[in-house]
Chain A
Amino acid sequence: MSVMLEAARQIRLVPALQAKGAMIVAGGTLAVAELNYGQGADGTLIILDRLGLDRIAVVGKKATFGAMVTMAEIARDRRLKFLHPVCNSIGGPAVRAMATIGGNLFAPAPYGDMAASLLALDAEITIHDGKSAKKYPIEVFFRQRKKLERCLVVSVSFTLPASGSFRYSKAVRRKPVSASVVTIAALLPRRGGKVVGARIALGAMGSHAIRAYKAEAALEGRSLDSATIAAAAAQIAEDASPADDAYASAWYRRQVVPIHLARLLAA
């Protein structure tokens, strides 16, 4: 194989290299594995190590992560405790030390547990196209992900959730960590005991993280009693299109996702 590494020196120069066919390697947990198996082997790899994209900023209620921030770094940050279960469910410690938040946005299903959490958190993705930086709501980002593969994700930001309003569960076949059978991330803001503006995101239930709009609607304006939980669980797979893979069949994923949602909402 013939590969050249280019350490990008300026953010605005990266998209031009991508346009010429160069591939970004962030943590490399997926990209270098592909190289090892002869995929995308000829060409230039862009390394983002020197661009200062490895910082976490929490200012007031807003958290911003450079695209190169790793799962291990987030898991060490005491300001972001609600995200620790997410990070600690991704690979073993060596994967977490390498895997970046930017790379997770491009990870194919059943991967993308952080991406599902960011979808629940209504994150904004900042992308540089070579001329300027633009912010995309995460749902728009996922819709255009194929096209945006030729752009640089610079950062990810979101408003910190109210204490106790973010919940996460990941069903796996092998404890403590494995690829997802079903991942659920839920933001459940409450006013006067009622859920207002719920966002439920699913991982491994589509080619990328998806919202479960019908289940969210079943929660809206209600308290989390057993009837509401049952109604949301009945709707949870409605917007999903899971695939068969080595971890679970699409049929199994559809069968178990209501059970995991009911457990998460009742917790």
Chain B
Amino acid sequence: MTKVAVQFTLNDEEQNEFVDSGSTLLAVLRGKLGLYSTKAGCHQGSCGACTVIIDGEPRLSCLTLAQRCTGRMITTIEGLTRDGALHPLQQAFMEGFAAQCGFCTPGMILAAKSLLDRNQSPSRDDVIDAISGNICRCTGYEPIIAAVLAAAEQMRAEMKKSA
């Protein structure tokens, strides 16, 4: 198997890796970098469990070839916690019981983060659209939608305070 060099920024840290040509970002994150929060579900784009943020947009890491990530900024859920403090989305998911088994949670939170980064006052429909590519098989979507809306409110309040 041919190895190729890839360089990208992962959760604000430079990564230089030799990876198998043709391997997916998901395989590199889990298999090479040991970042198991990015979940491997369907490997065909249907479940959203492998969602990461690349250059500000949600992407499916199972369908992203690692070699194409050179020069990109990638965020996985490990990159959301700052100095041990949870991101408001993580906090809201925890407080609102928006995770049961947790398998869909990293993908859900990153899909929601891509929305909140662009739109601080999302409507319920905006949230439904943002997570429409992410499947949850146990919590149910209502607590997840409520948690995203609660996190948005919290983030707006924090911004107001710091303004």
Contacts and interface: CB of A to CB of B under 8 A. Distances in A.
Contacts of A4: 2, 21-22
Interface in A77-95: 88, 91-95
B128 A176 contact: yes
B132 A97 contact: no
Interface string B99-142: 00000000000010011000000000100111111100000000
A91 B44 CA distance: 12
Given A28-B64, A33-B45, A94 B51 contact: yes
B89 to A, nearest CB: 16
Given A28-B65, A47-B68, A35 B133 contact: no
A177 interface: yes
Contact of B48 (A2, A36, A94): A94
Interface in B58-73: 58-60, 62-65, 67-68
B86 interface: no
Contact of A32 (B51, B65, B129, B132): B65
B24 interface: yes
A47 B44 CA distance: 19
Contacts, number: 95
A36 B129 contact: no
B132 A176 contact: yes
Interface of A: 1-5, 25, 27-29, 32-33, 35-37, 45, 47, 49, 72, 88, 91-95, 97-98, 176-177
12 contacts: A5-B65, A28-B64, A33-B43, A33-B63, A37-B44, A91-B133, A92-B132, A92-B133, A93-B115, A94-B111, A95-B45, A176-B129
Given A91-B45, A98-B64, 6 more contacts: A5-B22, A28-B63, A93-B58, A95-B60, A98-B60, A98-B63
